[in-house]
Chain A
């Protein structure tokens, strides 16, 4: 087993290579960064237009929605920046280039993940930070040290939930020829995360809380900061949900890696 320090050192070496290779499409990189930034703000623009016509959404004001959306942006950034390679997994598996990951004395998920670092995803992170500050000022939220630590812990768990859902879905590539629809479905579900879960009832609320727990990506943890007085005790489970889900995803990944037999060429 390699030590953690060695892994960190390797991570930077692999990353630097990737960024160099990426820079060959410079024009696309610059447009991508701007595109990503505006894409992050587009759903919010829709909310903003909508609030011209309604006073609140299920009791939530526009600024509260901005806060929840900012939390969502921050929670999905680690997936975008660090785990971006999983969107490509289906191509690697299909074309057989996935085989190379077997031949390194490294943890395979680590090696696979480290091969890509999405620089343009940093603009998404930036959009999240700007929106978080903007809404905090409007909502008179004060960020003391304990509250800031709570924010980091909840963001970490939320990011894990979202990484687990997408990475887990991408693993479908090991068993089906075209895994895109599974991944597309997962990313479509993820887009519902910033909606107030209180607008749903019955099967939808149950699914979004317990089965594909997108409620834990933004809405439930945001309540800790927006309306701490009527928070359900369920929220304190969010780190458990995050770590538990990631463990399940890692198990699925290991199963997939072990069952993969290449393309035969």
Chain B
């Protein structure tokens, strides 16, 4: 375990070198919050409740959704595919480390950095500028756990795309397609409640909703009971297990086609 944690520390320090960049990311997110505020205000000019959600709930959902979006950006898919294409992966294969865990713990450093840099300014702007109030309830305490689960699920997708480089070398296309599918189907931009009922039912059965919809519902409606939150966490846990196993099997298959041409 200590070996893996040191990977997290190293990647955290690597990201620290780019801390000036976070200044721009934070500005970008504050502008986004403003745009979202205006956009949703004009959407809610016709009625106070749309699809069972008030303006306040939707705005918290969308605003924190954008913060999670930045949080999950570790570029693990780009890094892994780069390592495979350039043959750097050969170095990793000689180490006594599991490649999946190696990639996961390296990504966690970026996530910790994002967490510190993005969540604090976003919450400050939400409460101070937009005067948003979050209702108390058990959901507030379960939100961090659910968010951690979301990180693991999101990592599985990135890892899957990265590994695909064994077959396609460049993974630009799959990465972009994955981003599109996740942002639309996970409820990252629009709460799933807004989708037509049948589409919504289908989306709730897919793993994508466990990345954004689940943690965001916990924080927008925190005053619900275990009968609601319990199953949500179980579904997330199920997807973590399933996706970790599937990507492991995929890796074992994909590694067989690896060719590295000299040093």
- In addition to A195-B39, A201-B38, 8 A-B residue pairs with Cβ atoms within 8 Å of each other are A32-B172, A35-B173, A50-B194, A53-B51, A54-B43, A181-B21, A184-B28, A196-B42
Q: How far is the CB of B79 from chain A (nearest CB, A)?
A: 14
Q: Cβ of A49 < 8 Å from any Cβ of B?
A: yes
Q: Cβ of B171 < 8 Å from any Cβ of A?
A: yes
B43 adjacent to A50 (CB under 8 Å): yes
A35 cross-chain contacts in B, Cβ below 8 A: 173-174, 176-177, 180
For window 79-101 of chain B, which residues contact chain A by CB distance below 8 Å?
none
B176 adjacent to A32 (CB under 8 Å): yes
Q: How far is the CB of A91 from chain B (nearest CB, A)?
A: 11
Q: How far is the CB of B190 from chain A (nearest CB, A)?
A: 5
Q: Cβ of B168 < 8 Å from any Cβ of A?
A: yes
Among B28, B174, B179, B196, which residue has its beta carbon within 8 angstroms of that of A188? B28
Known A-B contacts A29-B173, A49-B195, A52-B196; the reply to A57 vs B35 at CB < 8 A is no
B190 cross-chain contacts in A, Cβ below 8 A: 46, 49-50
Known A-B contacts A176-B20, A178-B21; the reply to A27 vs B35 at CB < 8 A is no
Determine chain B's interface SS by DSSP, over half rule: helix
A32 adjacent to B22 (CB under 8 Å): no
Number of interface residues of A (CB under 8 A): 43
Among B34, B42, B177, B184, which residue has its beta carbon within 8 angstroms of that of A46? B184
A-B residue pairs, 7 tightest by C-beta: A32-B173, A31-B173, A181-B24, A181-B21, A35-B177, A25-B170, A28-B170
B51 closest partner in A (C-beta): A53
A30 cross-chain contacts in B, Cβ below 8 A: 173
Determine chain A's interface SS by DSSP, over half rule: helix
Mask, B36-58, CB within 8 Å of A = 1, is: 00110111011000110000000
Q: Cβ of A45 < 8 Å from any Cβ of B?
A: yes
B188 closest partner in A (C-beta): A46
Q: How far is the CB of A43 from chain B (nearest CB, A)?
A: 8
Among A24, A29, A42, A57, which residue has its beta carbon within 8 angstroms of that of B183? A42
Q: Cβ of A39 < 8 Å from any Cβ of B?
A: yes
A199 cross-chain contacts in B, Cβ below 8 A: 38-39, 41-42
Q: Cβ of A192 < 8 Å from any Cβ of B?
A: yes
Known A-B contacts A50-B194, A54-B50, A204-B34; the reply to A31 vs B174 at CB < 8 A is yes
A49 adjacent to B194 (CB under 8 Å): yes
- Give Cα A208 to B23, complex, Å: 20
Mask, A30-71, CB within 8 Å of B = 1, is: 111111101100100110011011110110000000000000
Mask, B184-202, CB within 8 Å of A = 1, is: 1000011000111000000
B183 adjacent to A53 (CB under 8 Å): no
Q: Cβ of B31 < 8 Å from any Cβ of A?
A: yes
A-B contact pairs, 14 of them (CB 8 A): A29-B173, A46-B184, A52-B195, A55-B46, A57-B42, A178-B18, A180-B21, A181-B23, A181-B28, A185-B24, A185-B25, A199-B42, A200-B38, A204-B34
A205 closest partner in B (C-beta): B38
- Give Cα A35 to B18, complex, Å: 30
A33 closest partner in B (C-beta): B173
Q: How far is the CB of B71 from chain A (nearest CB, A)?
A: 15
Q: Cβ of B141 < 8 Å from any Cβ of A?
A: no
For window 198-253 of chain A, which residues contact chain B by CB distance below 8 Å?
199-201, 204
